[in-house]
């Protein structure tokens, strides 16, 4: 059935197709009979995981970028995800980069995006996250800086975001690795990352006393870091008490692509990213001697891809572009294989 739906969706431009599917899934989560039907259709064997002091019903999550403004996460929870990461959320609303800014590379089962963190801002997203939570779902929020915010002022902006979302989320993810906000990836450099995470750690400590819990904080890294850059980043992440790493964000590499949109600027996701993200997971675990949990994301388009990441040592995995090509049944397919 999804192959037919996909053929219709692919007649629309990618951003319009994404908006349509998100509206449909949001509506589905608001209609109890439809919600029940989706949960029944996509139910998979449970595979509980305990990580960061949280209980995950299974190992498969939805990566940030799919539900930027927190509009459809309740409906998306019906598809069997153990966790959903909303965002990337910026403090103030911003339009992102001008369209076209999302491209399908069908031959490569990939996407290129140069979205630039479009969204309605932190206050809007915070309102979407209140209220009843779907049973068994772990909710994360991915945080990023506004385009107009200088790198020097970035720590204060991330601190403000942590203050807003720590009470609403089960964990937070610090996005310093998108290639689509000019200069953002410089925050992965040793000194800038140290300044940023020091500020975030201080804010978390202050909030912990108020909330009576310590919200886990993860850092999302780029797949394009050199080995020395990765080692520096991981040392800083551990030094400042962060709880884990999400590996990886999209890549600037265009190696091996055959689709017509291969030369578009932006971050590449999907099948061609799989080998690079898997290598990054392995490197992180070697460098940290397995002491820092890793969520593997990038190029997971099948149960086999998921198994490779989990076998490499990833504690959890996330999907996004794989859903575009394989459909919502991908979550059940993975869980039926890896449980």
- Distance of alpha carbon 297 from alpha carbon 22, whole angstroms: 21
Q: Using an 8 Å Cβ cutoff, are 142 and 220 in contact?
A: yes
98 upstream amide cis, omega within 30 of 0: no
Catalytic residue among 59, 178, 199, 302: 178
In degrees rounded to 5, what are phi and psi of residue 53? 80, 10
- Distance of alpha carbon 54 from alpha carbon 192, whole angstroms: 29
Which two three-digit tokens encode residue 199?
Answer: 């500020």
- Beginning with the edge strand found earlier in the chain, give each strand of the sheet holding 267-270 in spatial order: 102-105, 110-113, 267-270
- Distance of alpha carbon 59 from alpha carbon 331, whole angstroms: 10
248 upstream amide cis, omega within 30 of 0: yes
> Hey, which residues does 297 pair with through a beta bridge?
318
Say how many Å lie between the first and final Cα of the chain, rounded: 25
Which two three-digit tokens encode residue 109?
Answer: 């089962």
- Distance of alpha carbon 325 from alpha carbon 210, whole angstroms: 44
Which two three-digit tokens encode residue 311?
Answer: 């076998």
- Distance of alpha carbon 53 from alpha carbon 51, whole angstroms: 5
Long-range contacts of 285-289 (CB under 8 A, 24+ apart): 285/312, 285/313, 287/230, 287/231, 287/234, 288/234, 288/238
Which two three-digit tokens encode residue 152?
Answer: 């020097």
Active site residue 178: yes
Cα 125 from chain centroid?
A: 16
- Give the residue among 87, 51, 58, 53 at the shortest CA–CA distance from 70: 87
Give the catalytic positions in this structure: 178
């Amino acid at each position: 059935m999804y192959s037919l739906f996909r053929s219709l969706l692919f007649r629309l431009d990618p951003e319009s197709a994404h908006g349509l599917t998100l509206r449909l899934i949001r509506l589905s989560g608001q209609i109890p009979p439809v919600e029940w039907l989706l949960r029944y259709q996509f139910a998979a064997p449970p595979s509980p995981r305990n990580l960061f002091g949280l209980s995950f019903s299974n190992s498969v999550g939805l990566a940030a970028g799919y539900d930027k403004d927190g509009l459809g996460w309740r409906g998306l929870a019906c598809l069997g995800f153990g966790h959903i990461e909303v965002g990337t959320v910026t403090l103030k609303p911003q339009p992102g980069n001008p369209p076209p800014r999302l491209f399908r590379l069908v031959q490569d089962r990939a996407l290129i995006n140069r979205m630039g963190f479009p969204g309605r801002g932190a206050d809007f997203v915070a309102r979407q996250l209140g209220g009843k939570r779907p049973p068994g779902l772990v909710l994360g929020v991915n945080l990023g800086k506004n385009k107009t915010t200088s790198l020097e002022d970035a720590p204060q902006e991330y601190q403000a975001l942590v203050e807003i979302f720590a009470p609403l989320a089960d964990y937070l993810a610090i996005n310093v690795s998108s290639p689509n906000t000019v200069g953002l990836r410089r925050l992965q450099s040793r000194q800038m990352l140290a300044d940023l995470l020091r500020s975030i750690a201080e804010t978390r400590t202050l909030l912990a006393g108020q909330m009576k819990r310590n919200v886990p904080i993860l850092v999302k890294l780029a797949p394009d870091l050199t080995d020395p850059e990765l080692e520096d980043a991981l040392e800083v992440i551990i030094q400042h008490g962060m709880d884990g790493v999400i590996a990886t964000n999209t890549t600037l590499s265009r190696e091996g692509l055959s689709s017509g949109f291969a030369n578009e600027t932006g971050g590449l996701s999907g099948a061609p990213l799989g080998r690079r993200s898997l290598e990054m997971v392995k490197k992180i675990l070697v460098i940290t001697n397995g002491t820092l949990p890793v969520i593997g994301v990038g190029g997971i388009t099948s149960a086999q891809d998921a198994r490779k990441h989990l076998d490499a040592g990833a504690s959890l995995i996330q999907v996004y572009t794989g859903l575009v090509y394989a459909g919502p049944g991908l979550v059940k397919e993975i869980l039926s294989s890896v449980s």
